[in-house]
Every structure is written in structure tokens, then in C-alpha cells.
Structure 1
Amino acid sequence: MDQNETQWDRLLKIKTTGRDDSHSDQYRYPYEPTQYCVLERLAHSGLIGKKNVLLDYGTGKGRVCFYLSYQTRCRSIGVEYDEWIFKAAEVNVKHAVSGKRIIFEPVSAEDYPVPAEVDRCYFFNPFSVEILRKVLARIYESYYENPREILLFFYYPSEEYVSCLMTEEQLMFYDEISTEDLFEGKNTREKILIFSVE
């Protein structure tokens, strides 16, 4: 276990380490938290601040919400369909340093109506492209009802995700944050792709 991972968990007063495949299937992928060094790079991008509301899809135990709320002062909403993992996020929110700015919703991503104040969304390959398309439809719906800048962050995107995103007419490629230098070896998936809703 990377020392940085446990140190941040301790500092934020949460428990988010470890992987969980217990309820994963072909549509919903295992719980695996984004490493803190990646979140640090995102926090320092200047694209998320205290006026933003971040929606983390497949939030798991809530690491993305806790860390980014702590570092950028944004408010966060985490959506998690797995009841068991959701309970771990709920326990975390009681003790977390930035817990007051975070809400967790026990719901499937594709069934969640995107609140009007959400303007940032985070994905770490939480589910299949079939579900992603339904989730994007929900985001567009929210955008049409309340036009605003919405940025979508896709960390470590799969080829399927990239193909899907590139063919979405309502999405515009916005930027890319490389995370390749944070890890050993060469891996072209080590990046955060950013799209804006048009």
C-alpha cells in the first residue's frame, strides 16, 4: 500500500483504501479508489473551486468527494448503487474533515436526476458504456433545463469510453490532464480527459 494513500485517509479522517469486486458485473465495475496523487493533480488544475458542485459517479467510499471538497472547498455529491459500499461512505461522512459539504445518494447513476447546481462530474470507469450513455442523457437534460458550464472529468478512460465520448454531439473536448508521470512505466490511459457540455 502506498504510504501517501493511508496518510491522506488519516488526514481526512476517512477509510477509502482497497478494492472491492463483490458486486461488480459486466455493467458495473469494481470499487477502486482514484489514487490521491491523481486527485491532487486535478485539484491543482484550477478547474474546480469553492463555487462548484461536483457529482462523483460510482463514488464508492467517497474518496473523490472528500479529497476535492477538502482541497478546493467545492461541494460534492456522490452517487453509489452498491448498498454495502454506500454504507462505508455514510460512515466516512460522519467523521470526515470536509463532511459537511458532502452528500451521498444511494441510487443507480442512470436513475439519478442531475441537480441544477451540479457543474462538475467525475468518472473513473464506474460502469459500462450502455450506462454511461443513459447518464449523459441525464446530464444533458439538466443542462437544457438550466444552461450553465458543465465540465466532465474522465480519469483513465477505456477505449470504449473514448469512442463513445468522441461521438456525442453535445460534448466538446475541453482539455486533457496527463497523469502518466505519476506512475511507473508507460500507459497512455493515464490521463484525465475533460469534456464540456454544449
Structure 2
Amino acid sequence: MKEQDHDRLLRIKTEGIREWQYQSAHYNRYEATPYLALEVLFDEYTCKSSDKFVDFGCGKGRFPFYIHHHLHVSVTGVEMSGQLFQVAMENLARYLERTKPSRSTIQFEHLLAEEYKVDLEENRFYFFNPFSIQIFQKVIDNILLSVENYPRAVDIILYYPTSEYIQFLELQTPFELLKEIRVPELYEQNSDERFIIFRYE
């Protein structure tokens, strides 16, 4: 299924790339995870209906809409850009018009990732290389603080991961590498087209 066809199925608009008007050292451009990659990820990575996801730097919301629709799990998208957050909310309004009521929830928060207060039930955290290593470290510290207050197993899912993200998790945190999932059709052209999943139990 083509990207626009999948968007149409979910009644959302998430295509395109958005560069920031003023170049930032800490925030990367918006680009949605390819639907093909998401299909590969969730063919190999299982989750339960009780899992709660957070997508940091969610942009227009493709990842939250995809997992809410296909996996029936609760998810929160966190986005610092007012423009992208507005698009995500417009997408949400259209998406909910056709979505049957369920126990799982989908919502978006407009704030900096490092200011997001991690809910005690949230246990799956997704990053598509949204910001600098300095911000990533602060977000991971917030996640670990939440785990310290309410012990639980948590996963960090990285798509198109940077070596800085991986080295930080491996060398400076209690997270351990769980799995690498390559996107075959894309990996042959670019070895960064993969998911790296870390777990802390």
C-alpha cells in the first residue's frame, strides 16, 4: 500500500518533509516513519493491549495513528512545533470521526520533549531521531526517574538511530540491547534504515 493510500485509510495527512525555518542545533526536520518500516517493525516486535506508547517528536502523528488503529494500544504523541501539533490535532479530529470507541486512547501534547511528565503506566518510547543527544539524554533521564518511582519494564525504540543515541544507551544507562530489526527493502540502500530496541527490566 502506498504512503498516500495508507494516510487515506486513516483519514490523516502525514506525508512530506518539513525543514525548520531557522536551523536548530537541537531539533531535526520533520519526516514521518515510512509505513513500510512500521509494518516490518510490528511483524517482529510484539506488544500487548495494556502497553502505553509515547512518540517523542511525533510531528503530524503518523506513528500514533498507525499503532492505535492497527494494534489497539494507547499512545501519546509529544510535539514541540506549534504548526505540526496543529496538523496532528486536525488529523485526530478526522481520524476519530470514523474510529470505533475502544479502551485504547490517542492524544497529543504540545510541549518540549524534555518537559513531558512520563505517566507511570507508559512503557514503550519511540524516537525517529527527533533531536540532539543532549535533549535525548534528558528525556531518557525522565523515563528512568519514572521507572525508579514505579518499577516496570520499559522499551526504547529507535528508528534510523544515531551512533550517539546508541552509545549513550549502551554506555551510560541500564538499558540493554534487545533487538535490531532491519527494513529489508530500504536497508539494502541505506544501513540506517533499521530499528534498534533497548529494554530495561
Provide the residue aligned with 1:143 in structure 2: 147
- Mapped to 2, the partners of 1:104 and 1:173 lie a distance apart of 28
Q: Judge conservation of contact 1:52–1:75 (CA < 8 Å) in 2.
A: yes
Provide the residue aligned with 2:156 in structure 1: 152
Query: For residue 21 of structure 1, what is the amino acid of its counterpart?
Result: E
Report the alpha carbon displacement of residue 98 of structure 1 after superposing the two structures with TM. 5.0
Provide the residue aligned with 1:118 in structure 2: 122
Matched position secondary structure for 1:47:
coil
- Mapped to 2, the partners of 1:99 and 1:178 lie a distance apart of 33
Q: Judge conservation of contact 2:187–2:194 (CA < 8 Å) in 1.
A: no
Provide the residue aligned with 1:6 in structure 2: 4
Query: For residue 114 of structure 1, what is the amino acid of its counterpart?
Result: V
Q: Judge conservation of contact 1:19–1:31 (CA < 8 Å) in 2.
A: yes
TM-score by length of 1: 0.92
Matched position secondary structure for 1:131:
helix
Q: Judge conservation of contact 1:33–1:60 (CA < 8 Å) in 2.
A: yes
Report the alpha carbon displacement of residue 161 of structure 1 after superposing the two structures with TM. 1.7
What is the root-mean-square deviation of aligned Cα atoms in Å?
A: 1.7
- Mapped to 2, the partners of 1:99 and 1:43 lie a distance apart of 22
Report the alpha carbon displacement of residue 162 of structure 1 after superposing the two structures with TM. 1.9
Q: Identity rate of aligned residues, in percent?
A: 34
- Mapped to 1, the partners of 2:100 and 2:67 lie a distance apart of 11
Provide the residue aligned with 1:76 in structure 2: 75
Provide the residue aligned with 1:187 in structure 2: 190
Query: For residue 136 of structure 1, what is the amino acid of its counterpart?
Result: I
Report the alpha carbon displacement of residue 184 of structure 1 after superposing the two structures with TM. 6.9
Query: For residue 86 of structure 1, what is the amino acid of its counterpart?
Result: F
Provide the residue aligned with 1:106 in structure 2: 110
Deviations 1:80-109 (A, max 9, x none): 000111000000111115597211000100
Matched position secondary structure for 2:31:
coil
Deviations 1:8-63 (A, max 9, x none): 00000000000101255110000100000111112222422321111000000000
Provide the residue aligned with 1:47 in structure 2: 46
- Mapped to 1, the partners of 2:100 and 2:24 lie a distance apart of 30
Q: Judge conservation of contact 1:66–1:99 (CA < 8 Å) in 2.
A: no
Q: Judge conservation of contact 2:187–2:193 (CA < 8 Å) in 1.
A: no
- Mapped to 2, the partners of 1:124 and 1:46 lie a distance apart of 16
Report the alpha carbon displacement of residue 120 of structure 1 after superposing the two structures with TM. 0.5
Gaps of 5+ in 2: none
